[in-house]
A and B are shown apart, each in its own frame.
Chain A
């Protein structure tokens, strides 16, 4: 069986031939290549499937084997210094490999349907396959430079994919934002790598871990430099995994096509940051300061993400913030040292989130013919509603995904989130409180998305929606449906109707043939066509959804601890995941703190499920379908009636809403500070360049030019002027000499 290992390096390289032939085909013989179109999709799926089979086989061996390392080839600068390329297959890698390949395949199949009418179909496949390749390369890397190499490639692919519809100005700025923000992280990563190279003299993970293990007996190396370097490495993960200060790119990244959002958020890009930390955990574990910092950042992020997700109108943005929040959970888990829980959550979240994203893509796809192709409309949850009647399969899968993410028992995310929650309680009550509270929030906003999208009635036909940002009244109505201060719904609608429209104001016409044209900004459709209803999407898009549903239902079982009660002394856990991870757990010297007896497990589970259900319930009150809404209205009114704090509550709610809708004012802050700061710096240097440096040269040039002219004039060869000067000077001389 050893021979499978030997060929493990093939995995990241497998999809390359298709990418290259497609890329060169597109550049050199575009028409011929484009005519083949869907034929190209087949080999890319096929090769990725081969990679998946490979990685599954690897991980089966992994359960009983140990990590392997192989050196392939190197760049040798000289005798002292060489960069080696190789691969390292350990449980972490094999988990990631399976994750990436499965999600990747499903997304590829899905995007065949989703992008089938797009002009850039092949370009999309090139990018997405390259994305998968670089991600596979990232997880198989055996040293830090190799990680950095693929890390940047992943960033580039995300840049290309987010800016895929390059005619949209928003997409253009979004992709730039994503790249630059990630580059800030790469800045940290590179410096961290250099720092560790300087400290330890090696870039190989094995050497690094060995050195790090030596630190632990010496009470850790608390030198400032090591901590700084670890912090810088962490910065890389912060940017990639959209953690608190650098999360701003993630919601904007939703400008890309939906399959990309799914891929970025589920399996590839954001997982890279978690992967890096998980990979380097042996190193970080010896630096307690950094560990607590990681958990702090994770906690901030999970809370912030959840609050920001509360009031988004865009379905994909809400999901993006929810991803951010879930990534915060993983970060927290890593920070408190429960490696296994973090990975478990990574897996379960990846499948659930991929399911949700692809589901939202399906929703968008079915909404697009109705409302137009602008993302402001087709992704707007305000216009959806009642979709369960029209797209039942999508709805079912979406519901399961939502429930899973909320943490409802038999589904995937429940198991992992519960593990994280209980571990965080063990670690520190503060983190525990925030994490549990956020679990409730998660349920709230996820269910809000679900209800707004699928529940109630289809709102497209009842309004002429124009996407003005100023329609705050409208947004308030979205926030609660209960319009405060007696402003009723009709009034809101009428104000928006008369509002200034960003897009074309002309009354929409029925557009029969609705091909997805790139950047069709003047989308116009809607109200007149009362007979148009959303349709269920094609089979190629539903198939991945169903497969992902299966994953979401059952993937949780790999991590469930089958408790043996008091029989096993110490060997209480028999989970597949832990068995899988055993070598690396031993390696990280993690004490088996994840031992939970059944009683504790059940109490934890009950509390978290209660929270989740509470969140669900509140969401249902706020956003439930029209009928239940009216029923509940009395309830709420009676609840609020006579409450002197009603105004206050409204105020609070409005504040929360605007906080959330304005993305916590963080983006605005960044624009004000960093963008303007850089612009200021630019102006300063430009002024310096133009004013001082140019000024000096021109200042030297101009007088010398003048002097030259003067001399030319003086030395013009006119005898009379010579005589004039001569006489002048003689008279001056005489004047001074005589007086």
Chain B
């Protein structure tokens, strides 16, 4: 996991994230929980995606976290009614198409020279 963030930085951030998670549950605040959710998904995705100093993976992950962020903000803001189902289904379809494709496209970049 050697990358720009340093050898240990990401794991220490992950440890901090665990603390933040416990804090968000203590105050039981949806916004705090939503921030931890986004950070957790980002922190587990960004380091391996950006291996070999390639930016395309990072841009993709930022895009995914942004889509999720919009859904979370809308939900916390009181999203309700039939539009809720449309928002959820659209999110699932957009990410369902985009995320696996991003993984497949960045796979050769991340694993160049490692395959058998």
Question: Is chain B found bound to chain A in the same assembly?
Answer: no
* Chain B positions near chain A (C-beta within 8 angstroms): none
